[in-house]
Amino acid sequence: MIRKGDFVLLVGEDQKEFLVKVDYKEFSTHKGSVDLSRLVGKEYGICVETNKGVKYWVVRPVLADFLKRIKRLTQIIYPKDIGYIILKLGIGPGKKIIECGTGSGALTMAFAYYVRPFGRVYTYEVKEEFSKLAQDNLKRIGLDEWVTFRVSDAEKGFQEKEVDAVFIDVKYPERLIESVKKSLKIGASVGFLLPTTNQVSSLLKVIEKSGFVGAEVVEILLRRFKPNPERLRPDDMMIAHTGFLLFARKAKEDNQ
């Protein structure tokens, strides 16, 4: 049942979608306005009409809907990459994770969502302005409770030890390798997002010399289709490049 303060996704016949918080105000679309007070107490999936008679279906938003609309001041990690990162790092309830840098908080949002209710995300960001934005982004949807935002240069090291996974999305990841090693549990995974192949090559060399094993490099391509059953074909445009993902595991050094 829809309650006051819930987020709902309004899905139009023209595929346009709006993520809206249900309060007692009117929400204006390009095709008229919806009286949000009418939604309280109703079931998800109902259809409402704007004052101009245009239909919108009211559905329950998922994490991808929130990520799509995140306020950003930095480049962010996209849902297509986030899905694989979550699986590769074994993110789940109760896990303790380090992330660097926070940026706009897109990945932080996904980590926080999946470590609930017992886990915690420690996210490092050198620029206060970005950390504040990320905090606001998570607060808006109630996920900040599972995150410690640290405004700090990660090159000075991480405070947490024995963490279950680390993810690094900064310009010079090789400068953080020794800190990652000190904080990560033996056998646990580290992941990186790198925009260019040169950066992947440089990092691979450092990783191999630093006691990490099982390196994997992937690029994830997502091709959307126009959902027309009679003329099913890909969209004309796609996001062709976001970044390369590199994963590795911390080996036990003394082999005992």
| SS3 of residue 155 by DSSP | helix
114 binds ligand SAM (CB under 6 A): no
| Residue ranges in 7-166 assigned as alpha helix (H) | 63-68, 79-89, 106-115, 128-140
125 binds ligand SAM (CB under 6 A): yes
112 binds ligand SAM (CB under 6 A): no
173 binds ligand SAM (CB under 6 A): no
Judge contact between 73 and 130, C-beta under 8 A.
yes
Q: Minimum distance between the CB of residue 166 and ligand SAM, rounded to whole angstroms? A: 13
77 binds ligand SAM (CB under 6 A): yes
126 binds ligand SAM (CB under 6 A): yes
61 binds ligand SAM (CB under 6 A): no
Neighbours of 149 (CB within 10 A): 20
Q: Which has the closest alpha carbon to 250: 198, 207, 201?
A: 207
- Dihedrals phi, psi of 176, to nearest 5 degrees: -105, 0
Decide the pairing of beta strands 233-234 and 47-49: unpaired
75 binds ligand SAM (CB under 6 A): yes
The angle subtended at Cα 187 by Cα 165 and Cα 179, nearest 5°, is: 55
127 binds ligand SAM (CB under 6 A): yes
98 binds ligand SAM (CB under 6 A): no
Q: Minimum distance between the CB of residue 111 and ligand SAM, rounded to whole angstroms? A: 10
63 binds ligand SAM (CB under 6 A): no
Q: What is the CA radius of gyration of the chain?
A: 21
169 binds ligand SAM (CB under 6 A): yes
Mask for 209-238, x = binds ligand SAM (CB under 6 A): ------------------------------
Q: Which has the closest alpha carbon to 123: 155, 100, 96, 146?
A: 100
In the complex with ligand SAM, which residue's Cβ is closer, 130 or 149? 130
Neighbours of 250 (CB within 10 A): 21
Judge contact between 183 and 163, C-beta under 8 A.
yes
101 binds ligand SAM (CB under 6 A): yes
Q: Which of 104, 179, 183, 242 binds ligand SAM (CB under 6 A)?
A: 104
Judge contact between 111 and 163, C-beta under 8 A.
no
243 binds ligand SAM (CB under 6 A): no
140 binds ligand SAM (CB under 6 A): no
* Residues lying near ligand SAM in the complex (CB under 6 A): 74-77, 100-101, 103-107, 124-127, 130, 153-155, 169-171
